[in-house]
Amino acid sequence: MAFKKGRIISLMIVFLFLFTALSCAQEAKKETDPVIRHGVIDLKAIDENKDGKVFQDQMDWNVISDKPGKCPLCGMTLKEVTLEEAKEELINNDFKIKQ
């Protein structure tokens, strides 16, 4: 009985370790996602197809893409906004943008 209990605990430790390693890897991937903008954000460069619109997350304002998709940080669907709207939200939320 004592042996069995010890085995269960060591299995749990292994699972915990795997889970931690996996979530760390996912965390690292999240941060390097190209739709997460850092530093001075150049909206005109993000708008690759030059239609004057981009897709922006409504929670993580620096998550901006030219294509529809989901935010890699919170999983929310990116909202289609004009460059002007995206710019306004970035300024309101203390992000730096290229004029």
In the complex with Zn ion, the residue whose CB is nearer, 43 or 57, is 57
Contact set for Zn ion, span 46-75 (CB under 5 A): 57, 59-60, 71, 73-74
How many angstroms separate the CA atoms of 95 and 99, rounded? 12
Q: How far is the CB of 16 from Zn ion (least distance, A)?
A: 28
Q: Which is nearer to Zn ion, 32 or 99 (CB)?
A: 32
Asked if 89 is part of the footprint of Zn ion (rule: CB under 5 A), the reply reads no
CB 13: neighbour CB atoms within 10 A?
Answer: 10
Is the sign of the CA dihedral 40, 80, 71, 74 positive or negative?
positive
The residue type found at 37 is R
Nearer to Zn ion, 73 or 97 (CB): 73
Tell me how far apart the alpha carbons of residues 5 and 10 are, in angstroms, rounded to a whole number.
9
Residues of the shown chain interacting with Zn ion in the complex, contacts defined by CB under 5 A: 57, 59-60, 71, 73-74, 76
